[in-house]
Structure 1
C-alpha cells in the first residue's frame, strides 16, 4: 500500500459495570510449584449504553501474585483491539505490544473501540455523527476501570500504553481515572492539534507530487495554500471550498469536514497535546518514542510535548529516539502489514517497564 493510500485511508476513516467473560481455563490448574501459565480471556464492560469487548492477557505468574497491568490504546480511525484496520492495514501493533509486555510480566487489556471489531458503533449506530473525542475518552476510562478490577492486577501498578492518537488519549484519560496510572508509554504520539497534523501530512503528499513531476511548483504551492485555507475555514466555521485541490485530497477534506465527521474532528482538533501533558501527576513514569523515519509524526514535532512533560515533573525514560523506525515501529521500508516490532521499539518498552518487570 502506498504512503499516499495509507494516509488517505487512515485519515478518511477517523470516524467511522465490568463483566468477565469465560476464560480458556488454562489458568485454573497450577503446576507443581503453583505457577500459572499465561492465559488470554475475553471480557466486556458497559459505558454510555454500549457494551465494549476486550481481551485481557495475563502472563505466566505465581498463584496469588498481583502484577503490573497496562491498558493499551489504539491509533486513529477504525483501529481495533489488535491495532489493525482490516482488511487493508493489519500490522497488529497492539497485539505485538501485548506480547512484549507479557514477556516482562505485565498484564494487558486491549479493546475494540467504537466503530471497530465486536463493539461496533453501539449506541451511535443510528447517528454516528454524534460521536466525539469525549466519548472515546470515556470508553477508554471505562476500559481502565475494567483492567483495575481484574483479580491479577496490582492497583498500585496500573499503566497506559498508547500508540499514535492512542497516546493522546492516554494523556486525556490519566488525570480522570483512579488510581491515576503510575506510568505512560506514548508511542509515536499525536503531538500536535489534529488539523495541524493533517495540514502537514497533506502538504507532504503535495511535495511528493511536485518532486515526481505530477504537479508543477506553482500547482504545488496553490494546493498547499488551498489545503491550509480549507482547514482555516473549517476551524472558523466558514463554508469550506476545496475547488482547485487535487481530487483525492479534496475528497478526503470534504469527507472529514462533512456532517458525519464534523463533531469528532472539531473536538479532537480542540485538544493541544502538550496542554494535556501538563495535567499529568508529578512523578508519573513516562516514555515517548519518535522514529526518525516516521512521516506521520516526525521527530521535529516532538519537543513541545517533551517540554510539557518536564513542566509536569514526570519521571522515567523520557524521549527515546528510534533510528530509522517508521510510525508502526518497523524499520524504514518494511511493509506496513509486517507483524514484528523492531528491536529498538522492543527495547524502549522494556526500559519503560523496568520498575515492574518480573524477576
Structure 2
C-alpha cells in the first residue's frame, strides 16, 4: 500500500521575475510498509502553474536516486537526466532503490521481483500527489532495467503516463540477457571451441533452471560458475524476474502514449539488434539510435564518472519532451 508523504525543502535557486524559483524537495514515501526516500526537482515556474512530471527509474542492482552504486560507480545518470528535463520545465522525482542510498534499506524478506515494481508505483503516486503536478502530463523515464520497470509501472498505475522514455531498456528475459552478455565476453576472451563449450553449459543451466530441475556448474570456468551459483541462490527472486518478457508488457502500453526508445551502438548490455521484438510490440514508438554511445550514455571509451550525457541523447530526450516543455 502507498503512504504519502513527508517533504522537506532542501534547495532553491533565485526566482525569475514574477515567478517561483527552482527547488529540490526531499520526499519520503512508503511501499510494502517500508520507507523510501527521494528528491523532487521542481523547475522555476509561474505561481499556480501545473507542470509535467516525470518519474525517473534506475537500472539494476542497488542503484540510488542519482543513478549511482556507491562507492564503486558514480555516473550520476539520473541526476543528469533530472537536470536535462528540468531545463525543459519538467519536474522530476527520483528515489533510492532498495539497498541503496544512505539508508541501504533492503527489500522485504522473501520478496519477488514485484517488490521493485511496487516501490516504483508508490513513487509514481507520490509524484502525482505533489501540488505542482499536472496529472494529465505524468511521464516515466527509465534507464536499463528501469526501462522495463517503466513499462511495468506505466501499464498498471492510474492515471496512465502520457509518455514513456525507455533509455537503453531491458528488452529480453533476464537470463537471456545474462547469457548474451557473458557469451560475448567469452567469445572475446577464449578460443572459439572453448567459448562454444562454455556457452553450451550456460544454455543448459538456463534450460534446467527454467524447467525447475536441479542446476549444476560442473565444467564452467570458475568465474562463470560463481556467477551462476549466485543466481541459483536467488532462485525464487530470479524465477519471478526471468518470467517477465518485456515485449509482452509493451503490448499493454495504451495507444497514444508518446514513447521514446534509445539504443547505443557501443552498448554491449542492450545491443540495438535485440530491440526489434520490443519495438514491434510498442504503439508508435520512436527509436533513436545513438552512434558510438555506450550503456551509460557516454561516447565509447569515456570514463564512467564525471561525464555529461551525450549530446545526441540529450537531443532525443528534448524532442520526446517537447509536447510538455514549459520552456
Q: Which runs of 5+ in 2 are unaligned?
A: none
- Equivalent of residue 139 in structure 1, options 119, 128, 152: 119
1:20 alignment partner, SS class = strand
- 1:90-117 CA-partner distances (Å, limit 9, x unpaired): 1111011001000000000000111111
1:179-215, CA deviations, whole angstroms, 9 ceiling, x for partnerless residues? 11000000000001110101111101111112xxxxx
Contact 2:107 2:115 survives alignment (8 Å): no
Q: Please, what TM-score do these two structures have when normalized by structure 1? A: 0.87
- Cα deviation, 1:201-260, whole Å, max 9, x if unaligned, reads 1101111112xxxxx3322211111111111111111111111111111101100111xx
SS for the counterpart of 2:288 is strand
Number of residue pairs the alignment of both structures matches: 325
Give the aligned partner of residue 305 of structure 2. Answer: 337
SS in 1 for 2:155: helix
1:42 counterpart residue number: 26
- Runs of 4 or more, structure 1, over 4 Å off, are none
Measured in 2, the distance between the counterparts of 1:203 and 1:76 equals 19
User: Who is 2:235 aligned against?
Assistant: 262
Alignment correspondent of 2:290: 322
> Counterparts of 1:30 and 1:248 in 2: how far apart (Å)?
55
For residue 338 of structure 1, report the CA deviation from its aligned partner: 3.6
After superposition, where does 1:209-288 map in structure 2 within 5 Å? Answer: 209-210=189-190, 216-258=191-233, 261-288=234-261
**Cross-structure match for 1:303:** 276
Q: Secondary structure at the match of 1:300?
A: helix
C-alpha RMSD over aligned residues: 1.5
- Aligned positions of 1:170-181 closer than 5 A: 170-181=150-161
Match of 2:5 in 1: 19
Superposed displacement of residue 119, structure 1: 4.7
User: Structure 1: where are the runs of 5+ without partners?
Assistant: 1-16, 211-215
Taking the aligned partners of 2:62 and 2:129, their CA distance within structure 1 comes to 27
Measured in 2, the distance between the counterparts of 1:189 and 1:71 equals 15
Equivalences for residues 66-77 of structure 1 within 5 A: 66-77=50-61
Give, in whole Å, the separation in 2 of the partners of 1:92 and 1:339: 9
Asked if 1:96 corresponds to 2:87, the answer is: no
Query: Cα distance, 1:76 vs. partner?
Result: 0.6
Mapped partners of 2:258, 2:248: distance in 1: 18
Residue 300 of structure 1 deviates from its aligned partner by 0.2
Is the partner of 1:62 in helix, strand or coil? coil
